[in-house]
Amino acid sequence: MAFFAGNQYSSQQMKECNRLSYLKGLKDAMPIMLGYFAVSFTLGINASQNGFSWFQAGLMSFLNHTSAGQAAAIRMIADNDSYLNVAISQIVINLRYLLMSTALALKLRQDTGIGERLAMSYIVSDEIFGISIMQRPPLNAWYNIGAMTAASPGWVLGTILGAVLGNVLPNDVTMALSVALYAMFIAVIFPPVRQDRILAVVIAASMASSWLFDITPGLKEISFGFKVIVLTVAISALFAWIRPLPREMEVSDAA
């Protein structure tokens, strides 16, 4: 659909291009929807175990599509952390979405309207970004809207179902299922670690630093949210200074 790149085509042609792009995004995101349902189910269980109702858990997933951010927010809210800490931690944890959005914006058709751009911004998750950035330029916003139509309901409904069953299933079962959320995080970080040793060092340093915060007098009294903010910023800055991105990779990424 890349040939519909400008305004020189008729309104009917543009509508057909948008329809085809929407259907393609809808189709490509079906596997993502199934994965989102499984992951958000465990997120819903985690939310119910920390005092969230099914409506609160579902609303959180409707307004956010970030497993790491939501898991951290659930823990912080359950600990009665401050609104400021919750807000800052979400900005830090989800800062990568700003970079993803910028990359997608540069790939969009020049005639993409503000309404289409706002619709795209509703969900710029790792997976949606992955399938969108692989499309031939210029990117049609309706591809992302189609992907969103498939993926977002899976995330929201999975969370609601997990929260409901989290209050019904036996405690041993919900505790076992809630571990799946941490298994997902492990599954995300281990494949890249096998290819990049410096990434393994970063992860090990993060785990060691978090453990030190938990056992060191004075530091262990710091709230979970503030600990996340400090460690994320400090470790990211430290390793960016120790191991900066090679210049040739910067040029390649920019291209």
pLDDT tens column, 23-81? 999 999 998 898 889 889 989 988 998 999 999 999 999 998 988 889 889 989 998 88
Q: How confident is the model at residue 3 (pLDDT cuts 50, 70, 90)?
A: very low
pLDDT attached to residue 179: 63
pLDDT attached to residue 255: 42
Contact 67, 181 (CB under 8 A): yes
Q: Report the C-alpha gap between 47 and 58 in whole angstroms.
A: 10
Q: Which residue has the higher pLDDT, 212 or 191?
A: 212
- In sequence order, which residues have a C-beta less than 8 Å from that of residue 43 and are 6 or more positions away? 57, 61, 67, 70, 71, 74, 158, 159, 162, 181
Q: Report the C-alpha gap between 21 and 90 in whole angstroms.
A: 31
Q: Report the C-alpha gap between 174 and 41 in whole angstroms.
A: 11
Q: Write the CA distances from 199 to 135, 168, 203, integer angstroms.
A: 28, 40, 6
Kindly report the average pLDDT of the chain as a whole number: 81
- Nearest Cα to Cα of residue 158 among 27, 53, 29, 57: 57
pLDDT attached to residue 248: 46
Asked if the model's pLDDT at residue 249 lies above 50, the reply is: no
Q: How confident is the model at residue 1 (pLDDT cuts 50, 70, 90)?
A: very low
pLDDT attached to residue 149: 94
pLDDT in tens, 52-64: 999 999 999 999 8
pLDDT attached to residue 15: 86
Q: Phi-psi region for residue 137, left (φ > 0), alpha (ψ -120 to 50) or beta? A: beta
Q: Is the model's pTM score more than 0.75?
A: no
Contact 131, 29 (CB under 8 A): yes
DSSP of 7-21: SSS-HHHHHHHHHHH
3-12, 98-107, 139-148, 219-228, range with greatest mean pLDDT: 139-148
In sign, the C-alpha dihedral spanning 201, 239, 73, 187 is negative
pLDDT attached to residue 227: 74
Asked if the model's pLDDT at residue 97 lies above 50, the reply is: yes
Q: Report the C-alpha gap between 23 and 212 in whole angstroms.
A: 50
Give the 3-state secondary structure of residue 148.
Answer: helix
- How many CA atoms lie less than 13 Å away from 200 in the CB half-sphere? 7
* CA max distance for the chain: 69
Q: Phi-psi region for residue 58, left (φ > 0), alpha (ψ -120 to 50) or beta? A: alpha
Contact 116, 145 (CB under 8 A): yes
